[in-house]
């Protein structure tokens, strides 16, 4: 094999992958056969099984003895061997030890002069560490029997000084998992051994130099060598360089790049994340290993959390150009270029994913490569902090019971989150969703309000601003390259909007049941009751205000999928704010369509939201939400959602008309709305939840002269629409513009009118009703 011309998708690699895929399918079939109770009842089952497994071991041993040069073939061989040793041959410790020895002793040296081959070696090395940990998770008791020999071998390799940080942590984690998951070990010795791994990690957070560095943003920059990076960017006046990928780094730049990468290894973040994740991930909370984790980390969180939040706060602050005080104002624009992630998107980015990564590697020693290293440093801190916080939250009261945590956590997460890119917001929102889902009932009232209030405020501000920015970009005719970037931005914006909308829908899901309280209240005469997460969000004024504001803005966001979800959310909460009475059965979390009394949650608080809060929310929905629905109802973009919009409008009118005149007043202020047509909805006031299709049909008829028209139907506008101001033409200006040849109209993309939220001229009178 010629490493100089190495190609990762060579025919030998593809052939091996195809053949091994078939073998893996056969292995799954064998495991189903082995687990079948029907087969186990046969008299010759044990003989057949023993014979088959001898043959499988013989075949795997031959595979183990074969030598391959291609790192990707070696990777595939390793995956298959571990699969066999943890499934069909899981009762064969001898074979498993052969596989373990193969992993530990097989470590090809990097060959940086041959980039493609070197990348394949790195891929194989990463997979080796993953498979090592898989072995420890699946067959810990077999490994425990020879733990002392394994530990001695690993310690020899670590003390040799030839292991990099990632490999060293991987080997230590391997030993940790064996002890943590083993079932035939004395519990006291188990915790004692595990603490030998944790204590060095915990003590590294007590380093006074680290604490001093994290006490200020400037100290954090010095710790990470970001201060040197800023000075380099300023001294080389990078804002005047048009093509960063064409500007080669000098010796100072290359040394800076190496230092930035080296500084990450000095931090306690990576080992903390590794040991925490292996303590809680892929484990049931009732399992013995998880219970051991409670003891293991019992006293560590108060030592780690203060500085962890400082790390996270400073990483987010790095995205705020105002914190780059070393740069003159004319250079502040480069901050976004430096810290915005580059990623490949199917259907939008040019070339394949492999070609994209090849271009990235080609530019490693250029100014673009330095920017990538800088953003990688900040991303490493940010994403590792997210992972650690998530793992901590899995241990429940040890995290949520930290009484001083909610305020500082919310501040660290959201104080500078507005400056994160839309792509970077997705992981942040996912973390919040996990934190809310894992929060014990007893801690919701204390822990969640500051977190959710800050989250919804920043989420609304960021996503709404991004949509407005996108509309401004789309109003300008762009060149091909700029259009590609615009498409990428729009795709990511839709993703983050969907993430936010799904999170809101999950929090307000009327069928979402509360988890069981951590403390049993059996035998207590007056057991404490807790509201559902939905009611909790709606009854907290600091939470519900930014939450409803985001949902209202989402009705106007030009994403059909997200808008549809939010309309369903609003339809589900409208009935909860009619009058102050216990919540309706449909608003209570249920397992099925009709939950039996025995299935009802005995700890569920079903008292209504306070009358004062209900009135405020009802008036907001009856005014601002209704206006947003009507405005979207008029726009051609939302033509496919007109039935959904009409259903929500009908629900607002029917449920709220008996207690407030606001929805009727707003509708009557529109042109061509007749009182008699609106009064037809009064027939449903007594039973607002019934005949919803008829209610929707009445609203569609009521607003028929005001609804938006799709582009396909624009040439068919009725002459008596009521919007025409000229006998010569009854088309709206928007329709006239569409009918104008592309060369004469102010369009982009070959005749499709501007996709922003600007109201067509013919509807300006309607839109004007909602101004001020």
Beta strands in 110-186 (DSSP E): none
Residue 720 has pLDDT above 80, yes or no: no
- Category of 288 on φ-ψ map: left (φ > 0), alpha (ψ -120 to 50) or beta: alpha
What is the reported pTM? 0.86
Dig out the tokens for 299 from the structure: 């006293």
* Model pLDDT, residue 487: 84
With 0-12 CB in 10 A as exposed, 13-18 as middle and 19+ as buried, what is 109?
Answer: exposed
Q: Which of 135-139, 153-157, 490-494 has the lowest mean pLDDT?
A: 153-157
- In order of 10, 72, 73, 76, 304, the CA distances from 5 in angstroms are 11, 15, 16, 21, 48
For 87-133, how does the pLDDT look when each residue is reduced to its tens digit (9 = 90+)?
Answer: 999 999 999 999 999 998 888 888 888 888 988 999 999 999 999 99
Tell me the pLDDT of the chain averaged across its residues.
Answer: 86
Check: CB of residue 714 under 8 Å from CB of residue 735.
yes
Print burial letters for 710-730: b (CB count within 10 Å at least 16), e (below 16).
eeeebeebeeebebbeeeeeb
pLDDT class of 475 with cuts at 50, 70, 90: confident
Tell me what the mean pLDDT of segment 315-324 comes to.
Answer: 95
pLDDT class of 610 with cuts at 50, 70, 90: confident
**What is d(CA 614, CA 611) in angstroms, rounded to the nearest whole number?**
5
More confident residue, 740 or 172: 172
* Model pLDDT, residue 524: 54
- In order of 74, 674, 700, the CA distances from 680 in angstroms are 74, 10, 13
* Model pLDDT, residue 358: 78
Residue 245 has pLDDT above 70, yes or no: yes
Tell me what the mean pLDDT of segment 488-494 comes to.
Answer: 91
**What is d(CA 406, CA 389) in angstroms, rounded to the nearest whole number?**
12
Residue 731 has pLDDT above 50, yes or no: no
pLDDT class of 744 with cuts at 50, 70, 90: very low
Q: Please list the residues that pair with 748 across neighbouring strands.
A: 752
Residue 741 has pLDDT above 60, yes or no: no
The residues, any chain, with a CB within 8 Å of residue 231's CB and separated by 6 or more, are 326
End-to-end CA distance of the chain: 73
CA–CA–CA angle 478, 479, 483 (5° rounding): 65
For 380-397, how does the pLDDT look when each residue is reduced to its tens digit (9 = 90+)?
Answer: 999 999 999 999 999 988
Residue 248 has pLDDT above 70, yes or no: yes
Check: CB of residue 220 under 8 Å from CB of residue 213.
yes
Tell me what the mean pLDDT of segment 494-506 comes to.
Answer: 97
- Category of 83 on φ-ψ map: left (φ > 0), alpha (ψ -120 to 50) or beta: alpha
**What is d(CA 82, CA 308) in angstroms, rounded to the nearest whole number?**
36
Could you tell me how far CA 132 lies from the centroid of its own chain?
28
With 0-12 CB in 10 A as exposed, 13-18 as middle and 19+ as buried, what is 306?
Answer: middle
Q: Which of 32-41, 75-84, 498-507 has the lowest mean pLDDT?
A: 32-41
**What is d(CA 676, CA 668) in angstroms, rounded to the nearest whole number?**
11
Check: CB of residue 699 under 8 Å from CB of residue 650.
yes
The percentage of residues in the chain with a pLDDT greater than 70, rounded to a whole number, is: 87
Q: Which of 152-156, 162-166, 281-285 has the lowest mean pLDDT?
A: 162-166
**What is d(CA 303, CA 206) in angstroms, rounded to the nearest whole number?**
7
Check: CB of residue 556 under 8 Å from CB of residue 645.
no
Q: Helix, strand, or coil here: 654?
A: helix
Report CA dihedral (621, 627, 631, 637) to the nearest 10 degrees: -10
Helical packing angle, 147-159 and 93-105, nearest 10°: 0
Check: CB of residue 304 under 8 Å from CB of residue 205.
yes
For 406-465, how does the pLDDT look when each residue is reduced to its tens digit (9 = 90+)?
Answer: 999 999 999 999 999 999 999 999 999 999 999 999 999 999 999 999 999 999 999 999
* Model pLDDT, residue 690: 87
The residues, any chain, with a CB within 8 Å of residue 572's CB and separated by 6 or more, are 508, 510, 587
* Model pLDDT, residue 166: 87
* Model pLDDT, residue 86: 94
* Model pLDDT, residue 489: 86
Tell me what the mean pLDDT of segment 572-598 comes to.
Answer: 59
Tell me what the mean pLDDT of segment 348-362 comes to.
Answer: 79
* Model pLDDT, residue 159: 87
Domain residue extents for the chain: 1-185, 206-402, 711-768
**What is d(CA 321, CA 329) in angstroms, rounded to the nearest whole number?**
9
Q: Which of 363-372, 504-513, 678-687, 718-727 has the lowest mean pLDDT?
A: 718-727
Residue 194 has pLDDT above 60, yes or no: yes
Residue with tokens 């010796």: 251
Q: Helix, strand, or coil here: 748?
A: strand
* Model pLDDT, residue 151: 92
* Model pLDDT, residue 756: 41
For 618-635, how does the pLDDT look when each residue is reduced to its tens digit (9 = 90+)?
Answer: 999 999 999 999 999 999
Tell me what the mean pLDDT of segment 212-222 comes to.
Answer: 96
Tell me what the mean pLDDT of segment 363-369 comes to.
Answer: 91
The residues, any chain, with a CB within 8 Å of residue 327's CB and separated by 6 or more, are 230, 233, 234, 321, 334, 335
CA–CA–CA angle 665, 668, 674 (5° rounding): 145
Print burial letters for 603-634: b (CB count within 10 Å at least 16), e (below 16).
ebebebbeeebbbbbbbbbbbbbbbbbbbbbb
The residues, any chain, with a CB within 8 Å of residue 443's CB and separated by 6 or more, are 397, 400, 401
Residue 11 has pLDDT above 50, yes or no: yes
With 0-12 CB in 10 A as exposed, 13-18 as middle and 19+ as buried, what is 645?
Answer: buried
* Model pLDDT, residue 710: 66
Q: How many residues does the chain have?
A: 772
Check: CB of residue 749 under 8 Å from CB of residue 721.
no
pLDDT class of 711 with cuts at 50, 70, 90: low
**What is d(CA 691, CA 476) in angstroms, rounded to the nearest whole number?**
46
CA neighbor of 571 nearest in space, from 665, 493, 667, 655: 655
The torsion angles phi and psi of 366, rounded to 5 degrees, stand at: -110, 180
Residue 2 has pLDDT above 90, yes or no: no
**What is d(CA 68, CA 10) in angstroms, rounded to the nearest whole number?**
14
What is the C-alpha radius of gyration for the chain, rounded to an integer number of angstroms? 31
Residue with tokens 């940790």: 176
* Model pLDDT, residue 481: 63
CA neighbor of 271 nearest in space, from 401, 436, 384: 384
* Model pLDDT, residue 771: 46
């Amino acid at each position: 094999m010629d490493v100089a011309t190495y190609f990762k998708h060579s025919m030998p690699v593809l052939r091996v992958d195809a053949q091994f895929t078939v073998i893996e399918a056969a292995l799954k079939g064998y495991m189903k056969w082995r687990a079948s109770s029907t087969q186990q009842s046969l008299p010759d089952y044990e003989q057949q099984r023993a014979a088959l497994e001898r043959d499988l071991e013989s075949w795997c041993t031959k595979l183990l003895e074969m030598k391959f040069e291609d790192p990707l073939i070696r990777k595939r061989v390793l995956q298959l061997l571990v699969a066999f040793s943890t499934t069909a041959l899981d009762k064969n410790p001898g074979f498993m030890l052969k596989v373990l020895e193969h992993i530990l002793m097989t470590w090809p040296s990097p060959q940086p002069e041959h980039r493609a081959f070197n990348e394949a070696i790195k891929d194989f090395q990463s997979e080796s560490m993953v498979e090592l940990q898989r072995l420890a998770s699946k067959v810990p008791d077999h490994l425990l029997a020879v733990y002392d020999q394994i530990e001695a071998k690993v310690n020899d390799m670590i003390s040799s000084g030839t292991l990099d940080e990632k490999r060293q942590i991987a080997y230590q984690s391997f030993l940790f998992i064996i002890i943590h998951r083993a079932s035939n070990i004395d519990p006291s010795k188990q915790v004692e051994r595990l603490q030998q791994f944790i204590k060095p990690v915990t003590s590294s957070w007590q380093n006074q130099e680290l604490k001093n560095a994290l006490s200020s943003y400037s100290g954090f920059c010095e710790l990470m060598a970001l201060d040197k990076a800023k000075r380099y960017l300023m001294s080389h006046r990078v804002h005047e360089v048009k093509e960063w990928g064409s500007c080669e780094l000098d010796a100072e730049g290359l040394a800076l790049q190496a230092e930035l990468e080296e500084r990450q290894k000095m931090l306690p973040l990576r080992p903390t994340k590794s040991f925490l994740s292996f303590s809680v991930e892929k484990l049931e909370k009732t399992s013995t290993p998880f219970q051991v984790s409670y003891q293991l980390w019992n006293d560590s969180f108060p030592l780690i959390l203060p500085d962890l939040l400082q790390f996270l706060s400073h990483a987010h602050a790095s995205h705020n150009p105002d914190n780059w005080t070393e740069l003159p104002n004319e250079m502040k624009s480069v901050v976004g270029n430096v810290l915005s992630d580059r990623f490949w998107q199917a259907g939008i980015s040019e070339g394949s994913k492999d070609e994209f990564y090849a271009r990235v590697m080609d530019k490693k020693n250029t100014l673009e490569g330095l920017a990538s290293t800088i953003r990688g440093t900040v991303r490493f801190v940010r994403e590792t902090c997210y992972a650690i916080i998530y793992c901590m939250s899995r241990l429940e009261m040890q995290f949520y019971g930290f009484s001083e945590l909610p305020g500082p956590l919310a501040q660290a997460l959201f104080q500078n989150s507005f400056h994160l890119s839309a792509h970077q917001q997705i992981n942040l929102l996912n973390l919040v969703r996990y934190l809310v889902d894992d929060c014990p009932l007893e801690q919701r009232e204390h822990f969640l309000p500051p977190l959710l209030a800050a989250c919804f405020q920043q989420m609304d501000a960021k996503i709404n601003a991004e949509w407005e920015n996108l509309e401004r970009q789309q109003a300008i005719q762009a060149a091909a390259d700029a259009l590609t970037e615009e498409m990428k931005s729009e795709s990511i914006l839709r993703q983050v909007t969907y993430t936010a909308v799904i999170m809101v829908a999950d929090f307000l899901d009327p069928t979402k049941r509360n988890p069981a309280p951590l403390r049993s209240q059996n035998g207590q005469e007056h057991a404490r009751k807790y509201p559902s997460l939905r009611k909790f969000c709606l009854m907290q004024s600091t939470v519900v205000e930014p939450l409803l504001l985001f949902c209202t803005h989402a009705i106007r966001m030009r994403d059909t999928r997200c808008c549809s979800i939010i309309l369903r959310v609003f339809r589900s909460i409208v009935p909860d704010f009619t009058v102050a009475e216990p919540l309706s059965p449909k608003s209570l979390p249920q397992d099925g369509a009709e939950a039996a009394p025995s299935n009802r949650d005995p700890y569920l608080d079903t008292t209504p939201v306070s009358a004062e809060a209900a009135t405020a929310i009802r008036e907001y929905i009856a005014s601002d939400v209704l206006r947003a629905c009507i405005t979207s109802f008029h726009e051609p973009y939302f033509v496919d959602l007109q039935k959904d919009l009409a259903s929500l409008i009908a629900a607002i009118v029917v449920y709220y008309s008996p207690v407030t005149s606001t929805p009727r007043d707003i509708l009557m202020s529109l042109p061509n709305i007749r009182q008699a047509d609106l009064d037809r909805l009064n027939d449903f006031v007594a039973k607002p939840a019934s005949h919803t299709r008829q209610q929707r049909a009445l609203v569609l008829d009521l607003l028929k002269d005001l609804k938006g028209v799709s582009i396909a139907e624009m040439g068919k506008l009725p002459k008596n629409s009521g919007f025409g101001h000229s006998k010569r033409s009854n088309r709206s200006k928007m329709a006239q513009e569409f009918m104008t040849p592309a060369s004469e109209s102010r369009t982009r993309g070959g005749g499709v009118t501007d996709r922003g939220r600007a109201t067509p001229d013919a509807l300006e009178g309607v839109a004007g009703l909602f101004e001020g």
